[in-house]
Amino acid sequence: EAGVVQSPRYKIIEKKQPVAFWCNPISGHNTLYWYRQNLGQGPELLIRYENEEAVDDSQLPKDRFSAERLKGVDSTLKIQPAELGDSAVYLCASSTNRDGNSPLHFGNGTRLTVT
Amino acid sequence: GQQVMQIPQYQHVQEGEDFTTYCNSSTTLSNIQWYKQRPGGHPVFLIQLVKSGEVKKQKRLTFQFGEAKKNSSLHITATQTTDVGTYFCAGSRSNDYKLSFGAGTTVTVRA
């Protein structure tokens, strides 16, 4: 099966600019996650979707971050405006169900550098 | 913040030796998962433990879930250069579906 696809792979922007990341999960995976991974740390959950519904966005900085999954398949994560501290790898993952007991399949991530 | 803590943060191992990395939670977990992330790569699922005291093996890797379901360990025997990477544990509690990752143990191997 095809894996989780993310684009772009790398992105360099200046602070205060907007940026968007795209994710296509594994076919049939209803649950989609966006994680942020800082250097030397584990992934931290930003938002979790069940189909098109955001069921956990408690750790999403809503003043500048937004996400959508309009048709319950692809998803985009947007930052506007970006800050220096947003530099990190943004990982998308998908799984087959929502009970926290299913393995996560990660994409290659988008490495964001804010200058 | 992180619900699970991993120790050590770094593990430098001589090729052929064994080592163990540990994962500890302050709360009871419904399950724990282990992932491996190679340098420059993304986390890849290794295994899931669900039952109290469960032990699972994958070739030279042995995973254990504690009796109280608050800790887990990964033991690697006869370390090889292919074992290089960062090993993450991730756990979820029974009352929510959120999978929280530890900070990882980064393994380097001396040939």
CA distance linking residue B93 with residue B95, whole number of Å: 5
Q: What is the pLDDT of residues A75-108, one digit of tens each?
A: 999 999 999 999 999 999 999 976 667 899 999 9
* B contacts of A59 (beta carbons < 8 Å): none
- Residue A100: what pLDDT? 65
* B contacts of A101 (beta carbons < 8 Å): 30-31, 48, 50, 92
Provide the shortest C-alpha distance from residue B109 to chain A (in Å).
18
| Torsion A83-A87-A88-A93 (CA) sign | positive
A 38-57 residues with CB < 8 A to B: 40-45, 48, 55-56
Q: Which two tokens stand for residue A107?
A: 């994409």
SS3 percent helix, strand, coil of chain A, rounded to 5, is 5, 50, 50
A91 at interface of B, judged by CB pairs closer than 8 A: yes
- Residue A70: what pLDDT? 83
* B contacts of A3 (beta carbons < 8 Å): none
Collapsed DSSP state (helix, strand, coil) of residue B41: coil
- Residue A98: what pLDDT? 63
Q: DSSP E strands: which ranges in B1-111?
A: 4-7, 10-14, 19-25, 31-37, 44-49, 55-58, 61-65, 71-76, 85-92, 100-101, 105-110
Nearest to B48 among A35, A40, A101 (CB): A101
Find the closest chain A residue to B102 by CA distance: A42
Q: Which amino acid is at A7?
A: S
Provide the shortest C-alpha distance from residue A38 to chain B (in Å).
10
- Pairs of residues, one from chain A and one from chain B, whose beta carbons lie less than 8 Å apart: 59
Nearest to A42 among B2, B96, B97 (CB): B2
Query: Model confidence at B1, in pLDDT bands (50, 70, 90)?
Result: very low
Query: Model confidence at B94, in pLDDT bands (50, 70, 90)?
Result: confident
Residue B2, pLDDT > 70, answer: no
- Collect the ranges in chain A with pLDDT lower than 70: 1, 98-100
Q: What is the pLDDT of residues B36-88, one digit of tens each?
A: 999 999 999 999 999 999 999 999 999 999 999 999 999 999 999 999 999 99
Q: What is the pLDDT of residues B5-47, one digit of tens each?
A: 999 999 999 999 999 999 999 999 999 999 999 999 999 999 9
